[in-house]
Amino acid sequence: MKLLKLNLLLLAAICFTACKKEQPPVNTKPQGPPTVVILGSSTAEGTGATPPDSSWARRLDAAVNEAGIKAKFVNLALGGYSTYEVSPTGSSPVAGRPVPDTARNVSKALSYHPGLVIISLPSNDIAFNYTDDEILSNYAKITQALESAKVPYIIFSTQPRNFTDASQRMRLKTINDKIKAVYTYHMNDFLDQLSTSTYSINPSYDAGDGIHVNDAGHRLIFNATMKQAIFISTVTQ
């Protein structure tokens, strides 16, 4: 009997060690109304939505506060931004690459003492031909800053974009899979839902410029976020 109990304890320990990265996050909801900071580029800023209140960010704000939670949303996103602009203040400069924007980066986000940070950088890194290693390195810097401060975060998936070069469109899928492999339950993945089979924008969701999603696309992102485990545990519960 003692040997059986020992074996069961060892099995539980092994399972915990092997599976802990896949476990859903614990409820880390802060006391009082949470502050949610959004980092990102033009889609997070609201481009493609008409009127602006139809954007996924505005929809989140409205839905959460209509439920009586009274969360504060701070949107620092700006069109054209990539993982470089959002990286922590003081990051080592890279020749030929943007420097962090101290008014809109993760360091600024942390100054609000947030209960949650959302990172939405759909396609600009690929448009600027940054390598996968560059992108992953920047995400590591961003998330390390958040983890050091013990702030929960969600990384939004890439989004389809009508790049002329098919290989560039496929990179949206490739880098998305790599990010998802690293950040597992931190991801909010809706890439395939917005895409054609070749990762251009599904015409049903195209805002008309081949870059941004329309109201229906913003609604899809909003719905996916409302179901995301970390969003639920930190904001809506």
Q: What is the maximum span of the chain, computed from C-alpha positions, in angstroms?
A: 69
pLDDT digits (tens, 9 = 90+) for 33-61: 899 999 999 999 999 999 999 999 999 99
For residue 186, give both structure tokens.
Answer: 């931190």
Whole-number pLDDT of residue 166? 98
Highest mean pLDDT, choosing among 18-22, 31-35, 197-201: 197-201
Average pLDDT of the segment spanning 126-149: 98
Query: Please, is 134 exposed, middle or buried when counting C-beta atoms within 10 Å of its C-beta (0-12, 13-18, 19+)?
Result: middle
* Residue position matching structure tokens 């941004």: 212
Whole-number pLDDT of residue 69? 85
Whole-number pLDDT of residue 20? 39
Q: Give domain limits for the chain.
A: 36-236
Whole-number pLDDT of residue 14? 35
Residue 141: count other Cβ atoms within 10 Å of its Cβ. 18
For residue 181, give both structure tokens.
Answer: 């492999």
Residue 21: which pLDDT band, with cuts at 50, 70 and 90? very low
Number of H helices, E strands in the chain: 11, 5
Backbone φ and ψ of 50, nearest 5°: -135, 115
pTM: 0.87
> Which are the contacts of 119, defined by CB distance < 8 A and separation ≥ 6?
39, 40, 86, 139, 142, 153, 154, 155, 156
Whole-number pLDDT of residue 31? 62
Closest CA to 160 of 202, 130, 98, 131: 202
> Which of 32-41, 97-106, 117-126, 188-197 is predicted with the least confidence, judged by mean pLDDT?
32-41
DSSP 96: T
Q: Is the pLDDT assigned to residue 3 strictly greater than 70?
A: no
The mean of the pLDDT values for the chain is: 90
Q: Is the pLDDT assigned to residue 6 strictly greater than 80?
A: no
pLDDT digits (tens, 9 = 90+) for 155-198: 999 999 999 999 999 999 999 999 999 999 999 999 999 999 99
How far apart are the C-alpha atoms of 81 and 206, rounded to whole Å?
Answer: 20
Average pLDDT of the segment spanning 94-118: 98
Q: Is the pLDDT assigned to residue 10 strictly greater than 50?
A: no
Q: Which CATH number fits domain 36-236: 3.40.50.2020, 3.20.10.10, 3.40.50.1110, 3.30.300.30?
A: 3.40.50.1110
For residue 70, give both structure tokens.
Answer: 């009274």
